[in-house]
Amino acid sequence: MLELKKICVHVEDKEVVRDVSLTIDAGSVSVVMGPNGSGKSSLVNALLGHPDYQVTNGSIILDGTDITDATTEEKAKRGLFLSLQHTPKIGGITLASFIHKAHCAVHGEEVSVLEYYARLVDLAEELGIPRILLDRPLTDGLSGGEKKQSELLQLIALQPKIAILDEIDSGVDIDALHTVFRVLEKIKQNGTGCIVISHHPSLLDHISPDAVHVMSKGNLVRSDGAILAKEILEKGFCAIAQCPHLPICEGDCKNHGRE
């Protein structure tokens, strides 16, 4: 279980997330939604220890242990996984080699390169991910869809306790998107809890979340079950926030400014 208790995040002197509390259970999927600039990516960057995003208040609890001040490496070894919205270019190491080293570090298992490579080939074929990606650079020179599939293979291979997927549906074609949903279903069955970050309500056409949360201007403004997903699809974010003083729709929503 991952518990976020009244998390506040600052970037330099600006508060970008305030008093956000969430609980993510094993094997569950929680979707955090909201328009661009609502604080979703700021929240997850702070959770994993990005140096530009400071947790200034609140606690991050994983399986009963406070990991708020742990390093990024320590959080990863304890079972947190983040799929970045914008993956940096990293060359000089193949995807297969990277996952092998990460597996040994996270799980403490010494396994030969050849044996582990065979495992990865089987996983790639099971998920419909091109096995050729295993021999290509980690992220450098890959298309957007290839980067997402590369991250999904890392996710399924490393079997984290909690997976945070930031805009996993952004910049991918329909085939890659289907792979995303296959992986989500598989890791749920394996007991991994998931936080899926998105600003596309259409994502809710493809997955059935256990919980849906809406953020606006750094605040968590609504939380509910799958019924909230349906409401978002029907009404949009502005109506969900139910506050005309929070211009999250930037004036484009038919409900903007109405009492």
Q: Which residues pair with 164 in a beta bridge?
A: 82, 195
Question: How confident is the model over 25-67, as pLDDT tens digits?
Answer: 999 999 998 878 889 989 999 999 999 999 999 999 999 999 9
Structural domain boundaries in the chain: 2-241
pLDDT value, residue 241: 67
Q: What is the mean pLDDT of the chain?
A: 85
Does residue 95 register a pLDDT over 70?
yes
Q: How far is CA 165 from the centre of its chain?
A: 2
Question: How confident is the model over 154-170, as pLDDT tens digits?
Answer: 999 999 999 999 887 66
Superfamily designation of domain 2-241: P-loop containing nucleotide triphosphate hydrolases (3.40.50.300)
For residues 254 and 236, what is the distance between their CA atoms, to the nearest angstrom? 10
pLDDT value, residue 244: 43
Q: How far is CA 138 from the centre of its chain?
A: 19
